[in-house]
Structure 1
Amino acid sequence: MDADLISSSDLPLARKSVLPGTGFFLPDDVEDDLEEQQARAALEGAEVAVVADPDADGLACVAMIREAYDDVQVVPEPSTDDRDEEEGDGVDDGDADAVTDPLDELEPTPHRVALLPASPHNVEEALERVAAYAEPGIDCFVCDLCPDRYEYVEDELAALLEVAGDVSWYDHHQWDDAVAEAVRDAGVDLVVGDSEEECTADVTLRSLAYDFDRKYETLAAVTRDHDLWLREDPRSDDLADYAYWTNPAEYVEVVREYGVDFPAWVREFITERRVEKEALIEQAVGRAKFHDVGGYTVGVTYGRCSQNEVAEAMREEGADASVVVKPAGSASIRGTDEFDRCHEVAGRVNGGGHPKAAGCKPDIYDDMLDYAHHWTTRGAVTKQVILEAFEDVVESSSAETADDDELEE
């Protein structure tokens, strides 16, 4: 296949907005082979392994762990990296698309603390690679990731525990009680923060037995501002955007050196990338439609865009909840104070997340014709499936309220 057909870097904006990025078309076996090679190289000689979501929250945890273990610091030169990711903004919402590009270069300098990026949908593969390639006795941390079911990670976690000295798991998502109990019973030190109050960087900061410099406290606070969508510190958008647009290895070393106060060359890089980001946001907002679901207004749109800003625009237009369907087939779901059951909606369509921020990828794509239909109809089937999930959640909520009223009577 002509590589130009799957490259979106030179596409007109209107077409780029409706098609997935180059990474979407990379065959799974090729991607798996590349990730296998990266994991093996990263773990060679490492004393610690960190399996983390490569968004700002997960990578802040990596920075803290490297600091606590006095790992070598490699301050990067000004970046000219121009990643062509699948889509999204790297926010942790259970979205399978927010993953590291497997073609990113390996870290040039070996680290005592190895980074293995993972998404919520392939955390078990990362655990398996640590078990396969790490030195016996290695310490392992899993950060900012939550398995929906224990069976998904059971075998891989057992293999890891046979190799590792200690395994710690830090997170802030909504954990099923049975899953959390099973992970702890297996021998893992699991610490789960309140998803309404903490991000995983907060959990890591307070869990590691290390006296951190104040800049790491600030890093956790500003990361939390974006990860929990508080939007009170303007620097938090810079963290999220830079974590998404640059190589994870570069992000970790930049925040270790500068904290949240980025140098001029990073700010210039972010500013340049935001020109296109804002244009893609406008495309998605312009496609938004609003639906009444049991008295709630649900805004729905489609596009390759930064989902949080698009959801905020729909909220300003009256949406109690927002759905951003993306070209790769996944969707981000955002709530408000009026609707805080996004994780329940996502749970009905192969996803999960937080009460006000969740992600999913409905299991409706059997072949490329389904994807072609998805692109040409701007996600029509995915939108309908998710709206039906909203209806189910709202109906179940109404039924629960009615049952409670009967009990009170």
Structure 2
Amino acid sequence: MTHSLEPGQTYFGSLQGMDPAEATAHVQFDDAGAIVSRVRRGRPFAGLEEGGDHLPQVLHYLDPSGHLVFCDCRSLGSQTSSNGMTIDRVRSSRIIHSANTECDYELVDGMCTELDGLAQWCGLSTVTTSLSWSKETPGVKSVTIEAANKPSIEVGGAFGISIGTSFTHNPSPKGNVYSLIDIVNVRTHTGQLRPWGEHAAVHRMMQDLMCLVYGKPCQLTLKSIKREDDQYGPVPDGDDRRWWREAYEPNLGRGLTDLKPLDRYKDEPLFTLADVDPDALRSWLDGFQLWSRPTWIAVSSMFQMGTAVEVFLLQIGVALEALGHSIWMEETSSDPSKRGKTPSYPALLERVTKAACFDELSLHKTWDAAQWREEFNTAFKGAKHADNPMTDPHIATERAREGLKLIRYWLAIRLGVKAEQLCVQS
């Protein structure tokens, strides 16, 4: 028996990390992580006293199912009464099923996520099907469905990125339905411990990549993490196998409630892994500190349902500004002391259209790059500044969509996709 780290699950056990050293606790998982409720008895209204318990960032929890580590903890307040009973409630946004009762997991050397869209983009799948036809009678005689893991694709880079497969199968049918779940995941694996946030940033970059490739929101789900000091006993020499610990952090990437997965047959990517330059992909992922900001801002617009069109335009306008700034930072990286003043918004926008080969790809049916920049800037200022004429909602929608398209094509060019291939798509 082990813990199931998913919304709705509840557990009772012992909590360590707050005074007193050990106390009874109730754990309830939800869509934001978990709420840990510690029960203690003391003086009447003890929860109202100033200078109460110090709340550490990490709490350790034990019960008959094992050991959980609650990270990134913050207080949700306390309930207290005249009978001396106090319930302290703590919110944790990151939970790890661990065997190491002393580790805080601020540093890890491996992280694994499941990312929608990867299977089609990489051309990876564990499932093959075949049909057997009868010569004597019409119709299908038999169907064979086979699942087998495929060799991983090694992307490499500073975080040792790899893309691999897995599958799950329940031999017992649910009603009349037999199920087989085909999974493609992303792993980062570093030789040394690195901050959790750095591993997470690379996985978010992969989520940005999928979202921009498809032009649709793609769900990112944390599955497990690894540390060399969190293994079951000593690791034999020459054995490369390691235990990866189940982890739960709902907000690791962008997400939507009830987000439907992509349709592998209907949703077409702008380009695939086979189209990109491996060195360019590694360079872009390793440069997450420079490139993650503009793509993160742009992609976040895909996960905000029901917002006003002006908000959509503003967000894309800010993303384009951030992208132009990143391009300028890269241009001047050889001698940062001579950068001087940050270029104006139109100058930053020009850098983006140039880098995305706007005119070569004919990204607008009517306007060239200069005309489009002028039209976009006018619409953007109309939505941003109260002293400018308000942008028509229809125009705001069109410019925002064109701006997002520009970012998608910039990324394709950045990753080495041939312009002639993109000309067909544009």
Q: Into which bin does the TM-score normalised by the smaller protein fall?
A: under 0.3
TM-score when normalising by structure 1: 0.28
User: Bigger radius of gyration, 1 or 2?
Assistant: 2
**When you count helix as a share of all residues, which structure comes out higher?**
1
**When you count strand as a share of all residues, which structure comes out higher?**
2
TM-score when normalising by structure 2: 0.27
- If asked which structure has higher relative contact order (CA below 8 Å, sep 6+), I would say 1
